[in-house]
Amino acid sequence: MLSFDFSDRQINIVKGDNTASRIRIDNSTSIQVPADMIVNGEVIQLSGLSELLLTTLRSEQMMDKDAVVTFSSSNIVFKELIVPKAKGSEFLQMVQNHMSQEMGISNEYAISYTVVGEAGEQNPGSLKVLATACPSSIVEGFRKLFAVMNINLRSVNIGCNSISRIVLSDKSNADKMPLLVCQLDNNFLGLTLFEKGQMAFARYVPISPDEYDADDYVLEALNENIFRMEQFNKARGGSGLSNVILYGFIEDYKKIVDALDGLEIRASVLGTPSQITGYENFEFTVFANAIGALYRRNKQTERINLLEVDHSTNKDSSAGLSSMLTTAGILSAASAILIAAVYGFISMRAGNIDNQKAKVDEQIAVEEEIKAKNQLLHNRLEIINKYKNYIQTIQLDIDTLPVMKKDKLDKVQEVLEKHKATHDGISFDLFGGTMSINNITLEKQEEVKKLVDDLRDLEFSAYIGYQGYTGTGEEDDPVIVSAITIYLEKEGA
């Protein structure tokens, strides 16, 4: 299956599957989108964008028959609602009615929801719901785009719902709440707030260098919006933010950490969940939304597939049916006229009917023989193509499995000894292509960055993942890094 993460100027795509609660990624690619093809999440230039996507998918050998989509737009409205308990479509209808009444939203919006929890003692028998309203034109744009590409579109989700699946699957994040997860991009910020083990609010903020009088406008925008989200949390009775998780395009992580020190907020990079395996040669934080869209949704607590809740679908279907019936009527009338004309012509030529029939039968027999031969060749070609795709898939699987050799372990040990680092052991996941060093103890804080940099410089290291450290390096407070994960470069890369 293909998973697309759309923004106005870039589309991130992964090809993978979700089997037995494990997500395997086979391939990935990013596409730079020319200006005005997508505007605030809505597809504007249908033919140009479909051609751009199909050309890339074919060149990267990533074609597939099914796809899911995740996207962001500042036109999406978020609202926390208190809704009486109900079942199935009845509850969805109640959420949609509440959203329409409280926000003045018409049927031109697709309204989805996620159940946050019980509404509390003041509202017995009710649930607290985070509802979203997305313009139907955005949903319809994706539906038409994938119809043109002849790819079966199975779901359309808002970006915050995709990333929340990854965040909430990591149980350690429960201790960091209230928690803010930020997606960084040169053109926008995606902000998702989590409280009490659930997504509480989301916001999409377009940014540009013209709006900020600073050398690093992305960092300036990040500081400003983190402060706003902290005030929002406190206004709801929260304790304020102490943890921020970053993902997306992170050019200088240390610079971001230093800038957030003034807010007394601890920043970390979104870690790769253990259930994700396969293609290792890509930045997980860039493709996190697309990967999150591959997670299975909880049908008991959420209705987030905009294809299922878009009112415009029924309206368009009715119009399509009416058009189809009209066309069928015209064709029936034309067919009746044609049959009458043919019948009259045959009647006039009754004397020659036997000779004509013999010639036609002979021609049909020849054509049937040719058709049978062509069908046989077609069937053989299909078998050959299926076998070719099977071989290519196996070769890709083999190529993307890193190779573990003793000299790699020796080089890691040398780096650890260089920095006088002690640890509780090194574990390996050859299927996932990782080497994990657990509970590393260092003498000084500055040794953490030096150690990570030296591990990153190893020729077989594709990426280093870790989530900071604790301790000051004093006698009773050693510097400890809970874990460092080395993502191995595939052999021959």
For domain 171-272, the CATH architecture is 2-Layer Sandwich (3.30)
Burial class (CB in 10 A: 0-12, 13-18, 19+), 46: middle
d(CA 352, CA 357): 9
Q: Range(s) for CATH 3.30.420.40 in the chain?
A: 171-272
* Contact call for residues 99 and 131 (beta carbons, < 8 A): yes
The pLDDT of residue 67 is 95
Burial class (CB in 10 A: 0-12, 13-18, 19+), 207: buried
* Contact call for residues 484 and 437 (beta carbons, < 8 A): yes
Q: Which residues contact 143 (CB under 8 A, 6 or more apart)?
A: 153, 156, 307
Nearest to 471 by CA among 461, 482, 462, 463: 482
The pLDDT of residue 121 is 82
Average pLDDT, 10 consecutive residues per value, the chain (493 residues):
94 90 89 92 93 94 93 90 87 88 82 86 87 92 94 92 89 88 92 89 90 85 89 86 89 81 81 78 86 86 86 46 43 52 56 68 78 80 79 65 75 92 87 84 90 90 84 86 85 49
The pLDDT of residue 326 is 42
* Contact call for residues 227 and 261 (beta carbons, < 8 A): no
Q: What superfamily would CATH give domain 406-488? A: General secretion pathway protein M, EpsM (3.30.1360.100)
* Contact call for residues 7 and 37 (beta carbons, < 8 A): no
The pLDDT of residue 379 is 82
d(CA 166, CA 281): 20
d(CA 451, CA 445): 10
Question: Computed from CA positions of residues 464, 469, 472, 474, in that sequence, does the dihedral angle turn out positive or negative?
Answer: negative
Q: What is the model's pTM?
A: 0.62
Q: Range(s) for CATH 3.30.1360.100 in the chain?
A: 406-488
For β-strands 243-248 and 266-269, DSSP reports them as parallel
Given the structure tokens 């869209």, which residue do they identify? 293
- Helices 446-456 and 406-418 cross at an angle (nearest 10°) of 160
